[in-house]
Amino acid sequence: MDAALDVLVLGMHYPPEHTGNAPYTAGMVAALAGAGHRVRVVTGYPHYPQWSVHDGYTGLRRHETDAGVPVTRVRHPVPRSPSALRRALMDATFTLHAASVGRQGVRRPDVVVAVSPVLLTVLAGLRWRRRGRTALGVVTQDLYSRAVAETGIASDGAGRAAARLEGWLMRQADGVAVVHEQFGDGLAALGVERDRVTVIRNWSHVPPATGDRAATRRALGWRDDEVVVLHAGNMGLKQGLENVVDTARRAGEQGAPVRFVLMGDGNQRAALEVLGAGVAPLQFLDPLPGDRFPDALAAADVLLVNEATTVAEMSVPSKLTSYFTAGRPVVAASWERSAAAAEVRRSGGGVRVDPGRPQDLLDAVRDIAADPARARALATAGRAYAQEHLGAAAARRDYQRWVEGLAAARTPSPEVHRDRRIA
């Protein structure tokens, strides 16, 4: 498409948040702006994964500029313990506040992109949508209704209600972009036509390591004679990290030279620290700065994905893109039918065990450590997979084409070009 488009991106998460879907939303925005489109972002106050608003972010609304892109931030509550009710209140407040932005004297966008898993954001997108004038696209990082059901944060009845709401909202969109093929089946079950679903994979936004591996291990307190298993990222309900605590406890009881490291933050970290008190082979680390994070991944011996026993279809762990790029073998404690297991199989970069089985997880780690040739083969395969399939350039190009396709598919009406300003 030759003509520049006006694009509005709505999503709660955006940099300076550096985990979750924020880097991918920012990458999409950069791709659209780089293609010459006029992009505007409405987002929330940064709070993830710490579940507390970053220092310096005060007031009810803020206006910023990110690489020439105007960014409006709207205030919303951030629950330290995000129960279903508190999460719903946060999401609803963000949606209402986001929908109120730009009512006067703003060009009507050609395309609005609503970024889930804050599902209600789609409602804010619908406030802008007009047939033939403004197309609505949804980017789905997680299946919201599956998350409600699989994390157990709400009742079965609430889960069914969430599925009905998600299906209705997704069917209002002109197109839905998902990050994994398996999400297509979930959306089809919600009544979304498959020809309106586009797969655009997440990419590795973490650069290769640059630091000395031995020096990094020393700085983090990791010995040369132990196998370091690193789980990096959010510590929430869907990660089910009690399994890792139990595995570390078994390693200590069995005298296995294995250290399990939980690096990051999240609403379950405090409870995990209490659960793991006195477990010698278990270490908690705060999130590392961006320039040190790749070095930590590369300094580990095994990189771990762990999912709760109730989780299977709700999401694809975004950490896998960084894990594969780091060139270390991956162990996924995840069900065979999960998207995480599918990615590990497809990459050839790791092994899978059932979640919630500490001994199986410990055995898998020890098997990899006992076979250096196999460990190197897994690491090499994962890195090659990342280089071939998880490149940022291809994904950003696909987002650009997807948004341009949404705009091109509009059915123009005679009034489209008469007045594109909102009274």
* Residue 186 pLDDT: 80
157 Cβ contact list (under 8 Å, min separation 6): none
| pLDDT, tens only, 278-326 | 999 999 999 998 789 999 999 999 999 999 998 866 567 788 989 999 9
At the topology level of CATH, where does 6-203+391-408 sit? Rossmann fold (3.40.50)
Same topology, domains 6-203+391-408 and 213-389? Answer is yes
| pLDDT, tens only, 21-39 | 899 999 999 999 999 999 9
Place of tokens 């330290």: 80
Report the alpha-carbon distance of residue 219 to residue 222 in Å, rounded. 8
3-state secondary structure of 359: helix
Domain locations along the chain: 6-203+391-408, 213-389
* Residue 103 pLDDT: 54
Q: Is the pLDDT of residue 417 over 50?
A: no
Does the domain at 213-389 match CATH 3.40.50.2000? Answer given as yes
24 Cβ contact list (under 8 Å, min separation 6): 139, 141, 179, 202, 203, 205, 318
- Residue among 122, 134, 258, 253 at smallest CA distance from 190: 122
3-state secondary structure of 97: helix
Question: Is the CA virtual torsion 21, 240, 386, 285 positive or negative?
Answer: positive
| pLDDT, tens only, 338-358 | 889 999 999 999 999 999 999
pTM (two decimals): 0.80
